[in-house]
Amino acid sequence: MIHLKLIFKKVIPQKYHLWAQQICSVFKSFWYFGYKLSCPLCDGHFRKFLSAGVKPRLNARCPRCGSLERHRLLYLYLKNKTNFFKDNLNVLDVAPLASFQEMSKKLSNLNYNSVDISSSIAMTKMDITKIDLPDNQFDCIICYHVLEHIIDDEKAMKELFRVLKPCGWAILQSPVDLNRDKTFEDSNITSFKERERFFGQKDHVRIYGRDYKDRLEKAGFFVKLDNYVNELKPDIFQKYGLMKDEVIYFCVKPDHKNS
């Protein structure tokens, strides 16, 4: 499958890449069809998921929609623990996953907008360290595995806090090394090779430690660490191909008028 993807990129003009990816996804859906695993985002059924990650994880990526373990957990969390599918909400999605964006746009209760500085599928091109929107705009913000890529993450967190409505909530997820007390970052580490060596991925600029919660709280959020994945029954955990260590960072903007 990796070789097929490389051939698509080399042979097919860039303007047709999305079309080619969709064709490839259909092919993979048939190739991996089965009933051992399911993806809640695209409702696909598969005998196995694809591997993914710098250090490949087995059964990680959905063959049809490309969702990873964290995206499938996000869907289940939003459905079972929040008002995302029920109430009328203004939603901001940062660096959207295509399948999650398409699902969200179809929900009649959501006024959905996605942003990213470089993504070809984001609805608006925007740098989240300088969000060109008024204060208190959104009831909900989804920001998944983005902040570890941003040099001035403190500014990005403050901007996300600013555009969130009082009492609004955000899920601000980043990879966290729970064995680290403090976040490791070094502005002198700039090359892709060095960043991959020190931060685990060439486009990461830090490794968050357990103080990630403190950094979010410094921006103004009330932060709840939710071990929702541990509430799931083993058969559900296996069915959706989830990860045991994924803690949800559920962040709320306090309403100081009522505090």
User: In this predicted model, what pLDDT tens digit does every residue of 168-225 receive, in sequence order?
Assistant: 999 999 999 999 999 999 999 999 999 989 998 899 999 999 999 999 999 999 999 9
User: Are 163 and 201 part of one and the same domain?
Assistant: yes
Reduce the DSSP state of residue 143 to 3 states and report it: strand
User: Are 156 and 244 part of one and the same domain?
Assistant: yes
User: Are 218 and 202 part of one and the same domain?
Assistant: yes
Phi, psi (deg, nearest 5) at residue 66: 85, 5
User: Are 42 and 76 part of one and the same domain?
Assistant: no
User: Are 106 and 89 part of one and the same domain?
Assistant: yes
Question: Which domain range does residue 147 map to?
Answer: 69-258
| Residue that terminates a domain, selected from 61, 79, 104 | 61
Burial degree of 32 (CB within 10 A; 0-12, 13-18, 19+) = buried
Per-residue pLDDT at 147? 97
Number of domains in the chain: 2
User: Are 208 and 251 part of one and the same domain?
Assistant: yes
User: Are 52 and 87 part of one and the same domain?
Assistant: no
- What spatial distance separates the first Cα and last Cα of the chain, rounded to whole Å? 55
Average pLDDT over residues 159-173: 98
User: Are 41 and 80 part of one and the same domain?
Assistant: no
Rounded alpha-carbon distances, angstroms, from residue 21 to 1, 66, 99: 12, 10, 13
